[in-house]
Structure 1
Amino acid sequence: MNSIKYTLLLSILVLLAVSCSSVSEPDKAVHQLEVTAELSEAEVDSIASALSLFPNGTQFSIAFISDSIVSFYGAHRINDVLESIDNHDRVFEIGSISKVFTSTLLAHAIHDSAISADQTVRDVLDVEMAGNPDFTFLQLSNHTSGLPRLPGGYTFNFLWNMDNPYKIFDEVELKSYLKNDLTLSRDPGEAHRYSNLGAGLLGFFLSELENISYEDLLQRKIFEPMGMNRSTTDRENVEEYLVSGVTKRGGSATNWDLADLAGAGGILSTAEDLSRFIRSNFNPDDPVLSLQREPTFQVSDNMDVAMGWFILNRDSGAKWYWHNGGTGGYRSSIVMDPDQKIGVVVLSNISAGHSKADNIDRLSFDLMETYFAN
């Protein structure tokens, strides 16, 4: 994909637009990353080139998945030296990649006949919503619900609490917003518009439907069955494994609390756990994950949307399933080709507000192209 298309996709997918004031470039780093049996010198240089853009304290945790074989590579920048480390089981905030898992829960609910994809939320749940909107569960999943990116009327709160902007959205606040302040920017199903609010509400509504918490839904339906033992929305459960986030200026970032909008970006995970999820998607006989990957809306000739996934239509004819994520102290990207049974995970602890943060996404694409071309 050319740089213009990259820019368009990345502008859509960052979880929250953080302040764009200038950040000084870091000093040049000494490249001491190790070439391994799995990674060529060119691939390691590609990782080093991306890592060198970010301040000291930044880490990358990378997984390469090829059918049933997974290889890991970790790197960090300390005292302006790039060094290899083992961090495959260390925990990062994954931001909007959480939306993929929220849609996996939707696919489970559909497969279990608890709901149908095209049922409206109002037809299923007794929830008061201003204007009685008719968006469906599927439309919340593929960003065609007509909901705005963020809850209307909360701009000041987001600006005032940039270090942890979603923390006020507990059940009481969210239900009050739905009842009194909910507005749609366009009719449901009319167009694609990326919405953190919509994805967060999807997780909230599925929790209401099943009458258990979003965290418990994730654990029962996805994380426990797949052996994703360090994936959670409860930071206290993984505190000892957590990699600290880094702000765009190289300071210590505050971890984000997404309260009852956790479905939009509240999951913490590891490269190892995410590789397990990708490998599960390589099984064509898995009815839930196969359902989730079906295209549901065409954004452009180059991109379709499934439940939670963006499908990148490559010039080669391949279809790459992709999502990225960003919070105040982390940036991540996962991409996979289920037909070829290959995938890449790149987790980092650099703020999504860093001016070079989109290089995390670009690195995941570059590694897909070079690693699996060998």
Structure 2
Amino acid sequence: MTSSAEQLLPGTQRALMHRIATAQSEGRTPSLVAAVRRGRERTVWNGSRSCVDGHAPDADTQFRIGSLTKTFTAVLVLRLRDEGLLDLSDPLEKHLPGTGVGDVTIHQLLGHSAGLGAESPAPWWERTPGALRPELADVLGEGTRMHPPGHRYHYSNPGYTLLGTLIERVRGERWEEVLRREILEPLGMHRTSPRPQAPHASGWAVHPWADVMLPEPAEDLGLMAPAGQLWSTTDDLLRFAVFLAEGDERVLGAASVEQMREPSAPTQPGDWDGVYGLGLQIERRGGRTFYGHTGSLPGFLAALWFSVDDDVAAVALTNVTSGPLIGALAADLVEIVADAEPRIPEPWRPLSEADQELLALTGPWYWGVRANVLRLTSDGGLEIRPLQGSGRGARFTARRDGTWIGRDGYYAGEILRVVRNGDGTVNHLDLGSFVFTRKPYDPEAAVPGGVDGGGWRGLEA
């Protein structure tokens, strides 16, 4: 057993160690390693358990991470979009012709709503050499279409094979070379690789009814590599979590990683607590939103979850085919830290300077008779929210033409305009055709349908 932490309270450290010890014991896994990060630069805890005394893995031990690889592939696709080389609404055929599924969009592939099959044709791709599937047709097979594109979420490993091939076609290089140059090197993830590098764990299967083990093969997945090939460490994956929470201009900016965290595919009944973004799983649990991904390949289970609001991320890796509920374990580690030692807010600080015209716009505005408040935010944007209770609201970012575009909430993508009178004074705000006025149904403003000339009145006898 190993653990190291100096920045968490002793009770929190013990709760974390107890949780992974229970997972290793009850999950009957040869070894398990986990780590927690709080903030940009602080790994505040790491711990491990092993069935062999003195041979526990540490933060530098590689494990296979399976479908966590998909998040890396999604980042590479978003980079192509940000460079203007493609649009997420583009049909696949525009950039990768001849697949037979060219009508599906890149966005649908990223969010698993393209309607493609979950797996490639037999034999089971995770446990056989990728050389058995040398062409995309061997990956897609004949039963490619399971659902109409865009109608529902249906997880698809072949879909991410298509995205990997798309990256290679646009870049003119192998997927793993693009990955190394554009993500791993800039983020300092030197212990993440397509093939294992010592020290690394070996994969095992544990008999369901007896305490005996069987080694699992570690196959090179060939064309399926962008869906699940990678090996990594807790140290590297926590670096990746910081990037996914905050962005990094060397890889993807904050706005693009925020887009990855937005739900992208229609949910099905029973799935309201779990949706998919662009290469990221999103789960609601106990009022807290988790972002990340889980992964599995024969002999390995992996999970990375982070909470943006709590500024906490956790990784759990183990070398067993079926054992601990690794996704629940990583989420539990986040919750243990976030609940026991809540994030201390940054000190409030005033703006360095305030635009006086924007400042004059702040305060109450009325949509009809509903009171809303417009605020100038610390990043220089605007935010409109109902004065009381929940309801329609959003944050807005300035555009060069003097208008504002909604970043989130009900008004995401909608345009906010300040409409002025001939003398330059403000008449009203136009938000997606909704008119917001300084007074309820202000007779001086351009209220749709006009305002009764008799004004406000009581009940007449």
- Pick the TM interval, shorter chain: 0.7 to 0.9
- Structure 1: which amino acid aligns with 2:235? E
Can you list the C-alpha shifts for 1:132-169, whole angstroms capped at 9, x where unaligned? 54111111111111110112xx23x22xx77x235235
User: Is residue 280 of structure 1 aligned with residue 243 of structure 2?
Assistant: yes
Alignment partners' CA distance in 1, 2:150 and 2:276: 13
Equivalent residue, structure 2, for 1:305: 276
Following TM superposition, by how much is the alpha carbon of 1:221 offset from its aligned partner in structure 2, in angstroms?
1.4
Following TM superposition, by how much is the alpha carbon of 1:363 offset from its aligned partner in structure 2, in angstroms?
1.1
Following TM superposition, by how much is the alpha carbon of 1:176 offset from its aligned partner in structure 2, in angstroms?
5.4
The residue correspondences of 1:61-80 to structure 2 (distance < 5 A) are 61-68=33-40, 69-79=42-52
| 3-state SS in 1 of match to 2:131 | coil
User: Is residue 184 of structure 1 aligned with residue 139 of structure 2?
Assistant: no
TM-score (norm 2): 0.65
Which structure dedicates a bigger proportion of its chain to strand?
2
Following TM superposition, by how much is the alpha carbon of 1:338 offset from its aligned partner in structure 2, in angstroms?
2.1
User: Is residue 338 of structure 1 aligned with residue 308 of structure 2?
Assistant: yes
Equivalent residue, structure 2, for 1:241: 199
Equivalent residue, structure 2, for 1:173: 135
The residue correspondences of 1:116-135 to structure 2 (distance < 5 A) are 116-125=87-96, 127-130=97-100, 132-135=101-104
Equivalent residue, structure 2, for 1:150: 119
Percent of matched pairs sharing the same residue:
24
TM-score (norm 1): 0.79
- Structure 2: which amino acid aligns with 1:331? L
| 3-state SS in 1 of match to 2:335 | helix
Which structure dedicates a bigger proportion of its chain to helix?
1
Alignment partners' CA distance in 2, 1:201 and 1:260: 9
Alignment partners' CA distance in 1, 2:26 and 2:5: 22
Following TM superposition, by how much is the alpha carbon of 1:243 offset from its aligned partner in structure 2, in angstroms?
1.3
Q: Which has the higher contact order (CA 8 A, sep 6+)?
A: 1
| 3-state SS in 1 of match to 2:60 | coil
The change in CA–CA distance for 1:271 and 1:165 in structure 2 (over 3 A counts) is: same
- Structure 2: which amino acid aligns with 1:333? A
The change in CA–CA distance for 1:166 and 1:193 in structure 2 (over 3 A counts) is: farther
Equivalent residue, structure 2, for 1:23: none
Whether the 8 Å contact between 1:64 and 1:343 is mirrored in structure 2 is: yes
Equivalent residue, structure 1, for 2:344: none
Equivalent residue, structure 1, for 2:234: 271
| 3-state SS in 2 of match to 1:53 | helix
The change in CA–CA distance for 1:372 and 1:129 in structure 2 (over 3 A counts) is: same
Following TM superposition, by how much is the alpha carbon of 1:34 offset from its aligned partner in structure 2, in angstroms?
5.8
Whether the 8 Å contact between 1:59 and 1:74 is mirrored in structure 2 is: no
Can you list the C-alpha shifts for 1:281-327, whole angstroms capped at 9, x where unaligned? 232653432332232124243223211111113442x3210311111
Whether the 8 Å contact between 2:2 and 2:47 is mirrored in structure 1 is: no
Equivalent residue, structure 1, for 2:169: 208
The change in CA–CA distance for 1:371 and 1:340 in structure 2 (over 3 A counts) is: closer
The change in CA–CA distance for 1:36 and 1:137 in structure 2 (over 3 A counts) is: same
Paired residues, number: 322
User: Is residue 43 of structure 1 aligned with residue 9 of structure 2?
Assistant: no
Whether the 8 Å contact between 2:113 and 2:266 is mirrored in structure 1 is: no
| Structure of greater Rg | 2
Following TM superposition, by how much is the alpha carbon of 1:35 offset from its aligned partner in structure 2, in angstroms?
8.1
Alignment partners' CA distance in 1, 2:206 and 2:273: 31
Equivalent residue, structure 2, for 1:226: 187
Whether the 8 Å contact between 1:150 and 1:195 is mirrored in structure 2 is: yes
The change in CA–CA distance for 1:216 and 1:189 in structure 2 (over 3 A counts) is: same
Equivalent residue, structure 2, for 1:373: 339
